[in-house]
Amino acid sequence: MRIAHFSDPHLLDVSSATLRDFASAKVLAGSLNVVFNRARKHRTECFAALVDDLNAQDLDHVVCTGDLVNLGLRPEFQRAAELLGRIRLGPAGVTLVPGNHDYYTAAAMTEQRFERALGAYATGDGQTRPDYPFLRLRDDLAVAGLCSAYASPLGLADGRLGPAQLRAAEALLTRVEVRERFRLVLVHHPPVVHRGWFARNLRDREALQAMLARAGADLVLHGHDHHDERAAIPGPGGSIPVIGVGSASYDDWRLDRAARYHVFEIAGRKLVRVTTRVWDRDADRFRELV
């Protein structure tokens, strides 16, 4: 089984945003950040090239751990839906969970802009709309999607899962038909602290780790930090690998920052190999990082 993981494309589009969209102080502050910082670094063209590269690989499933957009604006979600629509596997073969930028404002969250535009990629088996946690069974793979995002106040980029979601996730992960598959858990915020600033971390990460130590999982994937990161947390039968991936749209000559995605090769219940495909600025295409 071959599974690709990308995250944090932060697609930009303020073209048809209305004045009302900028009424939120957070959107205003975020817009300045976009204008002066992100817009130069996160390029839609890089992400479009990533999608082309994904389509050239022999993959069974693709997963994304959120921050599809920047300011939670409707045009950004339309652009995200258009680009994700180009992935050949289609919504049944592509699984998404939201990030904090997908719920950037209270309006984005209450209007369910992520779920309306991208819900087909975040709907569990037997469900008609996204509800977290969700579960998708695909051949030998079981994907559990968690939502750690919420409309955090200005200055915060933290996440939380909450006891109800953790209980429901534990119930999903311990089902018989799930335990006999390769159990992949998706969450936007890292379940361990890689970068020490409290305002951007997962608040109930210890509760998540405790739940996974009881229930077990074969791999946990996350985004949010815009860096490749690796950790391991205790599981019932040994440690569980926790792997984060850098941004899917970052246009940078440095190979440790440039837009990238990971490909996981899985045999039965074992993770056999992880490779990174990275944006090569000079060649204007993605290639394997060696």
Q: What are the residues binding Fe ion (CB under 5 A)? A: 8, 67, 99-100, 224
CB of 287 to Fe ion, least distance (A): 24
CB of 112 to Fe ion, least distance (A): 18
Q: Which is nearer to Fe ion, 116 or 195 (CB)?
A: 195
Q: Which is nearer to Fe ion, 38 or 136 (CB)?
A: 38
Q: Which is nearer to Fe ion, 175 or 194 (CB)?
A: 194
Distance separating alpha carbons of residues 165 and 168, to the nearest angstrom: 5
Q: Which is nearer to Fe ion, 181 or 262 (CB)?
A: 262
Which residue's Cβ lies closest to Fe ion? 67
Q: Which is nearer to Fe ion, 67 or 115 (CB)?
A: 67
CB of 214 to Fe ion, least distance (A): 27
CB of 8 to Fe ion, least distance (A): 4
SS3 sequence of the chain: CEEEEEECCCECCCCCCCHHHHHCHHHHHHHHHHHHHHHHHECHHHHHHHHHHHHCCCCCEEEECCCCECCCCHHHHHHHHHHHCCCCCCHHHEEECCCCCCCCCHHHHHCCHHHHHHHHHCCCCCCCCCCCCEEEEECCEEEEECCCCCCCCCCCCCECCCHHHHHHHHHHHCCHHHHCCEEEEECCCCCCCCCCCHHHCECCHHHHHHHHHHHCCCEEEECCCCCCEEEEEEECCEEEEEEECCECCECCCCCCCCCEEEEEEEECCEEEEEEEEEEECCCCEEEECC
CB of 193 to Fe ion, least distance (A): 14
CB of 83 to Fe ion, least distance (A): 16
Q: Which is nearer to Fe ion, 10 or 183 (CB)?
A: 10
In a 13 Å sphere around the CA of 185, the CA atoms on its Cβ side amount to 30
CB of 236 to Fe ion, least distance (A): 29
Q: Which is nearer to Fe ion, 190 or 216 (CB)?
A: 190
